Structure 1
């Protein structure tokens, strides 16, 4: 293994052919709803799934800007794949944030060998309810995991699953093997986009869990101001959306170059020479540039915060600032990707709507990704932060009096009357 850090040129050379191979099969997989088991195996074998693992554990040790640039390229090849691996990459980052070297050593060395981790955290019921229970099994001296999760994206493809559970008053994160007795994974995701992410149900029926599989205990109601995981997970979505805008531009150009007649013009009239088509493609290229640039800027902020944390001087305000930046980026990238995936159809007539081309997958996939996190609530959170100085989600964890005090203090700083 080389001791020199991997450059962006090294990474492009290493993965460009693989991304091309993934892109070539994306339409067939979409048309036939063929789950992406083979592409996931390619990514594991190539070392892509361990790129963020530090070198001392056997991974690639690349930076966050390098990682998100590659993830954008993967999203352009097939937007299902970044989302399939979103929980896996989040698991790596969460371990990097943690200070337990035993856990890092145990799990990151597994990831470096190609093992992947899915997630089972969300449920169909109220988002504040956690129905999966962990209880000690007196017969074995181990723990027993029971319950059900939905939206367990990527778990059908994974070797392990990170589960949000509870025992009485404590919230717990446990990791179990996806092929362990009592684990059932179902591909019952019925969304109209991101159809291959297997974002369906995972059930746990008396799954035995050893003590070392419990990786954290926490209170879900307690605010977390020392983590950038919310921003990280959002940036994965934004990189995927930026990839979709790149794919839209690519497919628009390919469609135009293959045509011999402009819509509505009889006879032979090449769209390549039509200034209106040029304008549409120019707009698509600009949107692709914008979304990619926003992701690059946000990933650089995450990298700076990661380095500040490692140096021991990251502050609460630093974490809040990166969350706000991610929320702002979310508003623009979603809007621009949906614009691009609709505008795409202006390069051609009815032939652009052919099922064989699957051009509609770009809008469907973008719309589903955009729906995973509440963009409108986050836009309001940004406004509330700037007006009243209340950090995102803090209003859900602070007593009313504390919220009022924070708001009054912010107004005082702005020179306003608080009477």
Structure 2
């Protein structure tokens, strides 16, 4: 409390006030519009600039901002549920939002100030954040070549990044670089600065329209209020980035159920060994679709459970309770790893086994059902699930701290 009795606030975070029904009513019609051209965009590698603009105009970029600051007051659980709904409509469009939503969360976790008020205003005005931290050629925190240095009273950013997801749709790019000495900084630079060069050289077989290629920076200026020590970014940043990817994967599993049902209904003939001449009434094919729906249910339940733990971390941080925050970060680490294993397995199983309910027509390029597996496999490759079960077991049996010290490991980034 202040001397006058007014309550002080440590952050911009507030308890959620939005209802799931209100959020769905606002955003689902836009998601449905996004879904309409999904197959053609994927087939012809058409970048969804218009679709991202629709979502900006609907206010998706400010969904987490509290109502008192001009946003919709959604919880993290609600935000990631919306992202999964968008992932069902178009996995690429949903993944484009990952960097923006994470930087909004970072500013909400920050202490109120004139600088941060300006960032909240930018979000409300529809400014969109893209970019990436990762450098090609096995770059790590320890070997960062990108620099963020003061020069003549201004900050200058020089270097190159890869995996620059969302960059082509952005107003601002979030760049990680070395400061003086051993300091690591993040700088927000304007996308339209002449020193910024974005190259669509992403060669992955999934995420074809997420603009995940190269970003080059040559003497790009940054203002004082747009440069932050990397160590001061919000404490659950890695969990946030990971959960954003899991949201898209959960959405993909639901899209597989939707498209699998439609394709099975459209089948005109069945095999001689079938239980029914009509594929849509064949008990074995119905069993396949039923099993795929279980994978979608598993993914959705795991996403909901894990994202709730992040709401608890945010609440502890907003209250200034460091003891509770530390414990909740540990719980979030465990829950996020468990969700990663469950959701990735569900997505890869669903995107493969759905073809067992379909005939040769199921592999038609007109349906493009392979896009679900390609996008799921690509997202699942961002962060190595192969290590997660071991880490979980070591925590459960030996109480070995599962929370990684990325700086000490020489690694870092958005979800690593």
Same fold per superposition (TM over 0.5): yes
1:136 aligns with: 150
| Aligned partner (choices 17, 21, 30) of residue 33 of structure 2 | 21
Shift of 1:17: 1.7
Q: Is the 8 A contact 1:263 1:348 kept in 2?
A: no
Paired residues for 1:236-255 under 5 Å: 236-255=244-263
Matched residue count: 388
Shift of 1:259: 2.1
CA apart distance, 1:103: 3.7
1:338-380, CA deviations, whole angstroms, 9 ceiling, x for partnerless residues? Answer: 0000011111111100011100000000000000011112333
User: Is the CA contact (8 Å cut-off) linking 2:267 and 2:359 kept in structure 1?
Assistant: no
Aligned partners of 1:95 and 1:103 also within 8 Å: no
Q: CA deviation at 1:76?
A: 0.3
Match of 1:61 in 2: 73
Moved more, 83-92 or 106-115: 106-115
Alpha-carbon distance, 1:100 to partner = 4.6
Rate the CA distance shift 1:24–1:102 in 2: closer, same or farther, 3 A.
same
Per-residue deviation at 1:393?
5.1
Runs of at least 5 residues in structure 1 that lack an aligned partner in the other structure: 400-419
Name the residue aligned to 1:338: 348
Distance 1:394 1:361 in 2: 33
Distance 1:213 1:303 in 2: 26
Larger Cα-atom Rg = 1
8 A contact 1:230–1:323 mirrored in 2: no
C-alpha separation between the residues in 1 aligned to 2:63 and 2:103? 13
- For residue 180 of structure 2, the aligned residue among 144, 168, 173 is 168
> In the alignment, does 2:289 pair up with 1:289?
no
Q: 1:55 to 1:31 in 2, by over 3 A?
A: same
d(CA) in 2 for partners of 1:127 and 1:383?
29
Larger relative contact order, structure 1 or 2 (CA cutoff 8 Å, min sep 6): 2
CA shift in 2, pair 1:307/1:134, >3 Å: closer
Match among 121, 125, 138 for residue 126 of structure 1: 138
Secondary structure of the corresponding residue to residue 315 of structure 1: helix
Q: Which residue of 1 aligns with 2:329?
A: 319
CA distance in 2, matches of 1:397, 1:134: 18
Separation of aligned partners in 2, 1:131 and 1:398: 18
Q: TM-score, normalised by structure 1?
A: 0.88
Residues 261, 269 of structure 1: 8 Å contact kept: yes
Could you tell me how far apart the structure 1 residues matched to 2:404 and 2:267 are?
Answer: 54
Task: Give the CA RMSD over aligned residues.
Answer: 2.1
Aligned residue number for residue 402 of structure 1: none
